[in-house]
A = this chain, B = another copy of it.
Amino acid sequence: MAKAYEKIADTLRQEIRAGEPGPGERLPSETKLVERFKFSLPTIQHALRVLAAEGLVEKQHGRGNFVRRPRRLVLRTSERHQWEKDRARKPLEERLETGATEHDTGLSVGDLVFSAAYFEDAATPHLAAVFGVPEGTKLLRREYRTRYQAEDFPFNLVTSYLVYDMVSVNPELTDASREPWPGGSQSQLHTIGIEVDRVEERVTARPPTPEEAEELGLSAGGIAVMVLRKTSIDTAGRVVDYSEVILPGDRTELYFPTSLTRW
């Protein structure tokens, strides 16, 4: 004997997949569903919460339950690293023209709102292991948010770590007011003689924490985030930057091309 809320969720799921109601359309009101399924309101609501957690339905207080319309994907590319490296030594005027984010998204500089904040942290065991430094070593933590001007929420949350004593050689690098730096991270590192040789990216996914949901505007529920962990290694084999990027799973697509050698 199946549970009532599961049967209800199953039925509605099937109907939605069949296109009735279609994307963006409203479901019958909860009281209507009570009549139709002959179960109490809390049970109907339980079924709808299940569908919301799946990302199939979006609840809107006072308006109704709606079939979620799949979001337009923003293409994010990962071939940007070579592109960024090529720019790092270019003259200032050229670096000013376009940033890496614009390169990824195809938008122009004016469409984006950017913010940066710097902090000093002591290395946790995990970060110490990543950088190969003693626990407690002073790190520079940089928090970035980037937003489309027209939208209310940023499309990513970036936290970048650098070894403080490595970068403080150039005081401009520990000053958040110099952001956005023309040419990006690799250009910043170039000012202290660092050449990035290799970038390693690792991707996982999970539900957002409440804080992330808040910052990214995912209050609706039923949306996952991708966690991109990026390690930059210089020509001497040192880890020179470690970044964590939180991305909304439905609005973002990570793109990784691989070219193979010809036979």
- Chain A: residues with CB nearer than 8 A to chain B? 10, 13, 42, 49, 53-55, 73, 78-79, 81-82, 85, 89, 195-210, 221-226, 235, 249-250, 252-263
Contact = CB atoms under 8 A, between A and B. Distances in A.
Given A53-B53, A53-B221, A257 B206 contact: no
Contact of A262 (B78, B197, B203, B210): B197
A223 B53 CA distance: 11
Given A206-B223, A224-B207, A200 B256 contact: yes
Nearest to A70: B206
Given A197-B259, A199-B258, A259-B197, A226 B205 contact: yes
Copies assembled: 2
A199 B53 CA distance: 33
A261 B81 CA distance: 10
A197 B249 CA distance: 29
A249 B205 contact: yes
Given A210-B13, A224-B224, A81 B203 contact: no
Given A202-B253, A224-B224, A226-B226, A207 B258 contact: no
Given A226-B226, A249-B224, A260 B207 contact: no
Contact of A196 (B54, B249, B260): B260
A252 B208 CA distance: 17
Contacts of A73: 204
A202 B254 contact: yes
